Structure 1
Amino acid sequence: MIVTPGDQPSKQSSDQKVQFGDVNPDEPPPSYSPHIESPPIASGSTLSSTPTYKSKPTNFLSLSNSDSSICGEFVIDPSIRIPSSILPPLRQDDTEDDRKNLNLRSQNSSVNADIWLLGTPSSQDPESAIGADKPRRTTIALISDHGSIRAQVHTLDDAAPFLLTARANHGTIRLAVPRSFHGLLSLSTRHGSTSLSDTLVENATQLSQIDDTRRYFIGDFQALGEVAWEGDLVELDATHGSLRVKYIDEVEETHAKKGFLSRLFGK
């Protein structure tokens, strides 16, 4: 018998039988479990850096009361533009450059302020800040003729330096500054005492004491240089009261049970 090439099984067919011969068509296909990724967990640093203020930001805010106190949260954004035509009138001889970003005054009662200072657009965008002038200080004035002043200042990382002046003719002044405070501190009182918290003292360089005024530099003293200082500046004046300055997150020990504000601002 002559066997023709067509009668021989091809190598390709044999290979195909070997390739698929190990698969049993009666067995069910293997189970499939899709891989589901867990949602990302927010880091603690991101949550902790989130501002906790509740008020809507404003600018050039001025409050003045004769017989009632001023108390509240004040969020200042120096980049907000408000037409001068709807702002309170300035004092005689003052210009728009003299207008305070925040001005709180109570003639016969107290001032209690929780202050937040936001950054300016130029400081938030490094590229837009190239070649631009340094942001001007955010200015704050706190005045009480016959009451006390208690204030704490929060600043975001990109906030401009601030200039805070506080005057209480017949009351005490308690101020809490942020850890980022870096600048001059001036304390004046004629018939009271002045004190800094222990942690603030560690970062303070005393510059002078002339009559009733003491001046300190908080932070790296080498940054002061020979030119006029344009960084943070705090000036406190209590004619017949005491002055106390601490860091805003600083917890001070007390020997007696005190209220929330006393624990917040120290002695």
Structure 2
Amino acid sequence: MTEFDSQRRGPSRADNLRLTKMPQRPPRPVPGYQPPVAPPPVVQPPAVAPPAPPPAPRRRRGWLAGLVVLLLAGGGAVAYRKQSEAAARPAPAVTTASPFPAGPEPRPSAVSRSPTGKINPDGVNLALHAACTASGIESDSWLPTFACDGDPATRWSSAFEEKQWLRADLKRRWELTTVTLKWERSYAVGYRVETSLDGKSWEKLYATAKGKGGTVKIRAKGRVARFVRMFGVKRVSRYGYSLLELEIR
């Protein structure tokens, strides 16, 4: 038989029986036999999942927390500043009505005025009627009155010291225009001309440290004074200060 014939041959009866599905019969009961009882199934407890870890804090929460801290700090600073200002601000004055009747209002104090003096319209030499004194003299031949007598042949000569003065008391306040010094050869290199209302407090009218003697005319410009003096500071020689005349107008 060739391979071709075997392939064309049909299935046998046995093959058909094997291919035919037979109906299944129920098992026959056997007397006195007890089938084994299957154990109850083991029920596994459900697996419990471990708790999930808490979520990590987000950066946004940290930023919000920082913002809250800044706001609280700023609010505290503002509150502290308000408290400081309130403490520094003086308390409002409380005025209460006095139980006593109000007395008369005090009068305003008098406004201080510049001193006034008598005017010398004729320009006479006021030193001729003045009381002239000095800090010292060379001798009785050169008294301070000899510088206030209008005579150029007489003179006042001081003690042989640096700080010496000649003073004229005009006996009342005058409004002065000029003060004239007429020096002898023993003149002052450094000296001051001063005026006073009371003979205690002196006000400078003229001062120099380069005196050259001769006749020195000083403008008083309406200065009011009762006393006029020349105060020597430095001599030109070893002798004292020597004035021929002191004229006051």
TM over 0.5: no
For the aligned pair, the TM-score class normalised by the smaller chain equals under 0.3
Per the normalisation by structure 1, the TM-score is 0.24
Q: What TM-score comes out, normalization by structure 2 length? A: 0.25
Point out which structure has higher relative CO (alpha carbons under 8 A, 6+ apart). Answer: 2
Higher alpha-carbon Rg: 2
